[in-house]
Amino acid sequence: FTSFLHVPGTSEEVAPPIQQNFMIPKKEINMVSDMAKWKRSQAYADYMGFILTLNEGVRGKKLTCEYKVSEPIEKLVALLNTLDRWIDETPPVDQPSRFGNKAFRTWYAKLDQEAEKLVATVIPKHLADAAPEVAVYLKESVGNSTRIDYGTGHEAAFAAFLCCLCKIGVLRVDDQMAIVFKVFNRYLEVMRKLQKTYRMEPAGSQGVWGLDDFQFLPFIWGSSQLIDHPNLEPRHFVDEKVVNENHKDFMFLECILFITEMKTGPFAEHSNQLWNISAVPSWSKVNQGLIRMYKAECLEKFPVIQHFKFGSLLPIQPVTS
């Protein structure tokens, strides 16, 4: 899986990057029959490889543990902090409907305008040509400005954004833990703030493609963090006390906390799939099951993947290797 994550200290590091013709990513999945192209594509193989590489990278590790933080990681966090600051500068407007606050469109217009500049702050000068291609995934990762909704397809765009940064060598193998714990975790915080501030709708009918209404990946990586934990078992995550005491260390529990803050009533009713998962005996079984479920319920669902965009870094062409 790490074939496209550049290993530091190898000759690749000094070699000039492969001359690549960057392009603006575009939609390629226009009807259900196109889904076969997606599953055979280099993009799918690289995307899934990236998700699984990170899944291994955070296995058994706490959010609060020590890990290397490189300069590109710091710059990505700064980029996300900018998006966060723009939310503060764009308060929700008074409107009759409760959901989908139109101020989100103002916030999004700013990102749409600034995305390339933001991405250019993260990538080195000699890769400047990649910025327009990579920026598309950033813009796709924050929700839809027409529908004012957010779901797993947007989350996938953010993972694709990070995957592209790995493919051009900005992020490297030893950034794995920081990619999940620092960058992706900060992304989640900003998305939660967007969801709360602008009362965004879950994409799809009632977030049908998410494990909660909005996210999926933090449950995969979060369950990997808990593999072989000496005393926290899957049955414990529905226990409020356990969640309150451990959420700062584990992404999975942070997600559960957010759900319980946003929803009222019995957990088994508002989050049935998660309730069922709490009955699985081990975290490694939970992790394997979630990866299978992610492929089946998100990556193989036309309503989610029809919005995915393909370029030179995540190509629609069939896998070559």
Domain ranges of the chain: 26-62+69-205+302-310, 207-295
Report the mean per-residue pLDDT for the chain: 92
Residues 135-192 pLDDT 10s:
999 999 999 999 999 999 999 999 999 999 999 999 999 999 999 999 999 999 999 9
pLDDT band for position 213 (cuts 50, 70, 90) = confident
Among 75-79, 112-116, 201-205, the range scoring the smallest mean pLDDT is: 201-205
Domain 207-295 sits in which CATH superfamily?
Answer: Phosphotyrosyl phosphate activator, C-terminal lid domain (1.20.120.1150)
Where b means 16+ CB within 10 Å and e means fewer, 200-232 reads bbbbbeebebbbbbbbbbbbbbbbbbbbebeeb
From CA 68, how far away is CA 152, in angstroms rounded?
28
pLDDT value for 28:
98
Q: Which helix (H) or strand (E) holds 297?
A: none
pLDDT value for 211:
75
Among 13-22, 108-117, 140-149, the range scoring the smallest mean pLDDT is: 13-22
Percent of the chain with pLDDT over 90: 84
Residue 224 pLDDT greater than 60, yes or no: yes
